[in-house]
Amino acid sequence: MFKVRVLNEEVIKQVIDMKQVVGAIEEVYRLKSNEKTEVFDMVFHEFERGVADMDIKSGHLKGEDIFGLKVVSWFKDNEDKKLPMLIGTTMVFDSKTGMPIGMLNAEYITGMRTGAAGAIGAKYLARENSADLLMVGAGHQATFQIAATLISMQNIKNVRIYDPIDSNNAKKLAESMKELLKDKFLSKYENTDLYDEISKKFNVNFEGVDDLEKAVKISDVIITATPSRKPLIKKEWVKKGTHFSCVGSDMNGKQEIDENILACARVYVDDMNQALDVGEIEIGIKNKTISKEDIICEIGDVIVGKEKGRLSEDDITVYDTTGIALQDLMTSKIVLDAAKEKNLGVVVDL
């Protein structure tokens, strides 16, 4: 009989905090660079093309003695049934014994770890004095990306939000951003030394914009998190020294920025194989605008100091993050540990 802790979204939201998640995802990248991780083959199945699919991503964090998997399904018709279209479940196992340790709702953790990934790209690759952040995409991911990036960077002053589908989304999100950041993220740090530091970092200008070209031209850091299948950002718009974290492309055919930007940038990825297959770089590689050899390295190699990030203030840098199961496992583990300490969740005998 095994004791398995089951955590739903409500409990996860209580114990998770973004600064810790950023640290955890950095640690995943570090372990990956040091060959303390293994990514297993992905299982993908379409129940009906364009209507319903599921995938199982799994892997092993040797450095943390856990392995596990995340099952994510997407059912388009769930909207009519008042159910979420995306449903995810993560299972964590002890890699010293094989024993199951936890089962977790994967949705909120996916949002958090994806936000952290985009921010880590900016932290290690953007200019340190970056002041202007542009968020492209005002969907579910935007708040996570903005929170994580503000926490991870030191000098952001302006956050502009652009939405390719409806500029009203961007305006509304910008208006409510201060409150969202306070409720969802800052509240975690009440009565801690971090509160003032993070409160100050969140105290910047937020603006919804509808002219993407104009916004790109004055941005130091650009994060893209859209479902786009054609480039939204043209090469001519991009100023010297800009950093991109491309978060949206995680599937064949997705693309958010002009592949010619990649050709003149220093390009980094989270996982080489997955990025080549389904990342932002996929299209550029396929139409030979860039080659695999042009990719500098995985971001973990920069974090541990094996490879260099930007070489000058003028470099354009791109971080292509596709999301790997290891991020979910690591974040799930810190959430499980925190829940255990606070005696939260339900412990079942399996």
Residues near its own copies (CB under 8 A) are: 1-2, 4, 6, 8-10, 38, 40-41, 43, 45, 47, 52, 54, 56, 58, 60, 67, 69, 71, 73-75, 78, 81, 83, 87, 89, 91, 93, 95-100, 103-105, 346, 348-350
- Contacts of 78 by beta carbon, 8 Å cutoff, 6+ apart: 84, 85, 87
197 C-beta neighbours (distance < 10 Å), count: 13
Pick between residue 8 and residue 155 the one whose CB is nearest to its own copies.
8
Contact 302, 309 (CB under 8 A): yes
Residues 6+ apart with CB under 8 A from 158: 131, 132, 133, 204, 205, 207
- Smallest distance, its own copies to C-beta of residue 97, A: 6
- 4: exposed, middle or buried (C-beta count within 10 Å: 0-12, 13-18, 19+)? buried
Question: Of the two residues 106 and 170, which places its CB atom closer to its own copies in the complex?
Answer: 106
Q: Which is nearer to its own copies, 264 or 346 (CB)?
A: 346
CA dihedral 303, 119, 117, 336 (to 10 degrees): 100
Amino acid at 83: L
Tell me how far CA of residue 324 lies from CA of 34, 105, 331, in angstroms.
Answer: 16, 17, 12
Considering the complex, what minimum distance in angstroms separates the CB of residue 51 from its own copies?
11
CB contact at 8 A, 5 and 336: yes
Considering the candidates 19, 32, 57, 70, report the single residue annotated as catalytic: 70
70 a catalytic residue: yes
Q: Which residues pair with 39 in a beta bridge?
A: 59
Whether the Cβ atoms of residue 334 and residue 24 lie closer than 8 Å to each other: yes
Quote the least distance from Cβ 251 to its own copies, whole Å: 17
Active site residues: 70
